[in-house]
Chain A
Amino acid sequence: MRTANATTNGTTGAGPLLDVQDLSVDFHTDTGVVHAVRNVDLTIGPGEVLGLVGESGSGKSVTSLAVLGLLGTRRARITSGRILFQGEDLLTLPPKRLQALRGSHVGMVSQNALSALDPSCTIGAHLVEVIRRHQRLDRAAARAKALESLELVALPDAARRLRSYPHELSGGQRQRVVIALALACRPELLLADEPTTALDATVQKQVLDLLLSINAELGTAVLLVTHDFGVVSHVCDSVAVMRRGQVLERGAAAAVLRDPQHPYTRALVEAVPRLRLSEQERSVPRQRRRLPEFTEVAGGVGA
């Protein structure tokens, strides 16, 4: 499964594609300031798949939004740090340049595909609009490119699907369309925020496999935000575990999964219910099998 060239690129390339340094984000709420992200460092090499893992409230989504430059609201303040994309600091970029970057060099896949698509526009119209926003192409050329994008995400019957409306597609197909939209301009980086949590198990696997094949074919780097180490294990080269706004642990996915250094990481890995159990685990009657719960006080994993 592992794409050898992509991983080597990721570690030995000219430099990181995305380099987040010391990022801190505060939220101003009615009742006070929340430090949503605290001094986070992340790097993604070209063609690397990084899993940003955390539970709700850990700051993982806020971090990914900050990378997209979508946090410039009154409530959210970036209080420190740099976000270097191909050597350019996104935080100091003029809004126009940032907008041009989004979509053309950084693509976004959100959790809820239905709300990401305009119900009154066809799939083709969505794609053509995105393509023409970033590239000087006439309608016919843009349409050809749109078709190509749909074929890339393996949407069956792509030519006919260009004329379909979002509600005519299943959840998995819609998520493929959203990925096609994100990939329409062949970005170097894809940000995917819980792209499969709303999907059935089999569809989730298909969509993740699609992300993998795109990563292998186009060398697109992926920042995958998730709470599920099962997903991480399936698609990620490296992983960063976040909790309460901080990165607890970073490293190659295989190493972190095999030997998690932080007890919280271990709890997250072991809390995923598993299908394939060891002989020893299987010998315990099912009624007495328990999943580990993370206990704060002991700082370790307890039952």
Chain B
Amino acid sequence: MNRTTTGTAGADAAAPAAAGEDGVRVPRQRDRRSPRRPSRARLAVRAFCRDRVAVAALAVLLLVALASVLAPLLSPYSPTEGDSSLRLQGIGTPGHPLGLDGQGRDVLSRLLHGGRYSLLVAVVPVLVVFPLALATGLVAGYTRGRTGEVIMRLLDVLFAFPLVLLAIALAAVLGAGLGNVMLAIGITLVPYMARVAYTTTVQEVGKDYVEAARASGAPTRDVLLRELVPNVVSALLVYATTLCGLMIVVAAGLSFLGVGIVPPAPDWGIMTSDGAAVLLEGKFHVATVPGLAVLVVALSFNLLGDGLRDALDPRKQTS
């Protein structure tokens, strides 16, 4: 196999040195190491695994998820009941590695339990909105005509509000509580995700392969599902992943402002808010620890998104 010269497969790649072969009829070697190539998914996984940063980000997220699920087993104390005698003891207090908060609650226990809320609030709305946004964007982007215009203009109205403000307003109207926060965040997400699905679709529709599919007799359904979906889903998936990171921050913000999860639930936003109240007493750890957790998880989602983008690009899945 003449694979030494280029990144792409075989001796026939379009890259500099090898492409000259096209003008030539060389008797091709019949044997290929494996007649069956690995599937697309496997190629993507392989490409993803080569990206160490993305793998690390995924590991962090899985670890956080695992810790949240196992929180009742892992946490040494109750997340809601405190020992006021140990109030505001700092990091490294015996038995309380991350210290205690203003009500004498163990910060580590609250952090572990709080991961549930944060992850739920970030991931569930994105997952629910994903298919909705995909369908809306595809239909609007493919039809383009009046239907598409109307759909996108309606969404633009929502778009006009800053994301955080809209989420706050919705949460305030709906009232606090886990379900309502997820609903508020979900509604906030619709225009953003639909917009990305829409612009990607519009971009892809203009490409020759869509025309080629139509020329091959593909009905609209096939053009949408076979041609456009794989390309739009990839783009939307990358965007959705980074949105998860942003939503962690937004959810924490909502709780911080008192329109999110109801205290005394150990949400990271509430914890930060509690911590902010005691900052003036010179106790920084109460706010910093959950704040850092939000930062790490949000960052991990972003890095995961970057890794997915590359892994899903067939041009970068060199076999």
**Direct interface between A and B, CB < 8 A:** yes
**In the complex, residue of chain B having the shortest beta-carbon distance to the beta carbon of A61:** B16
Q: Does A27 contact B (CB under 8 A)?
A: yes
Closest to B17 in A: A34
Q: Are A293 and B25 in contact (CB under 8 A)?
A: yes
**Complex CA–CA separation, A129 to B125 (angstroms):** 54
Nearest to A62 among chain B residues (CB) is B16
A204-B170 Cα distance, complex, nearest whole Å: 62
- When C-beta atoms are compared, the residue in chain B nearest to A302 turns out to be B25
B residues 2-22 with Cβ under 8 Å of A? Answer: 3-7, 14-22
Instruction: Select from chain A the residue with minimum beta-carbon distance to B19.
Output: A57
A27–B5 CA distance with the chains assembled, in angstroms: 10
- Which residues of chain A are within 8 angstroms of B154 by Cβ–Cβ distance? none
Do B3 and A31 have beta carbons less than 8 Å apart? yes
Minimum Cβ distance to chain A for residue B137 (Å):
29
Once the chains bind, are B16 and A57 in contact (CB under 8 Å)?
yes
Given contacts A296-B24, A297-B27, contact A57 B7 (CB under 8 A): no
Q: Is the CB of B20 within 8 A of A58?
A: yes
List residues of chain A with CB within 8 A of the CB of B14: 56
User: Are A55's CB and B20's CB within 8 A?
Assistant: yes
CB distance from A59 to the nearest CB of B (A): 8
**Contact in complex: B25, A295 (CB < 8 Å):** yes
Q: Give the number of A-B contacts (CB < 8 Å).
A: 56
**1/0 per residue B19-37: CB within 8 Å of A?**
1111111110000000000
Q: A29-B7, A31-B4, A31-B6 are in contact. Are A296 and B20 (CB under 8 A)?
A: no
Let me know if B26 and A34 touch, CB within 8 A: no
A165-200 interface mask toward B, CB cutoff 8 Å, 1 = contact, 0 = none?
000000000000000000000000000000000000
Indicate the member of B14, B18, B21, B25 with the most A CB atoms within 10 Å: B25
- Contact assessment for A31 and B5 in the assembled complex, using a CB-CB cutoff below 8 Å: yes
A31→B7 contact, CB < 8 A? yes
Bound: A110/B26 CA distance, A: 32
In the complex the two chains form, is A55's CB within 8 Å of B23's CB?
yes
Chain A, 1-53, CB within 8 A of any chain B CB: 27, 29-32, 34-36
* B20 contact set on A, CB distance < 8 A: 55-58, 243-244
Report the minimum CB–CB distance from B90 to chain A (whole Å): 49
Chain B residues near A243 (CB-CB < 8 A): 20
Residues of chain B lying within 8 A (CB to CB) of residue A294: 23-25
A245 sits at the interface (CB 8 A): yes
Binary interface profile of A, 189-220, with partner B (CB < 8 Å = 1, else 0)? 00000000000000000000000000000000
In angstroms, Cα B6 to Cα A114, docked, is 29
Please give, as numbers and ranges, the residues of chain A lying within 8 Å of B5 by CB-CB distance. 29, 31-32, 34
- Contacts of B6 on A, CB cut-off 8 Å? 29, 31, 34
Looking at B3, B4, B16, the one whose CB has the most chain A CB atoms below 10 A away is B16
Known: A29-B6, A36-B16, A294-B24. 8 other contacts (CB 8 A): A27-B16, A30-B7, A34-B16, A56-B19, A57-B18, A59-B16, A243-B20, A297-B26
Chain B residues within CB distance 8 Å of chain A? 3-7, 14-27, 318
The 4 closest A-B pairs by CB, nearest first: A57-B19, A57-B20, A34-B17, A32-B4
A–B pairs, 17, beta carbons within 8 Å: A27-B17, A29-B6, A29-B7, A29-B15, A31-B3, A31-B4, A31-B6, A34-B6, A56-B20, A56-B22, A57-B21, A58-B20, A59-B16, A294-B23, A294-B24, A295-B24, A295-B25
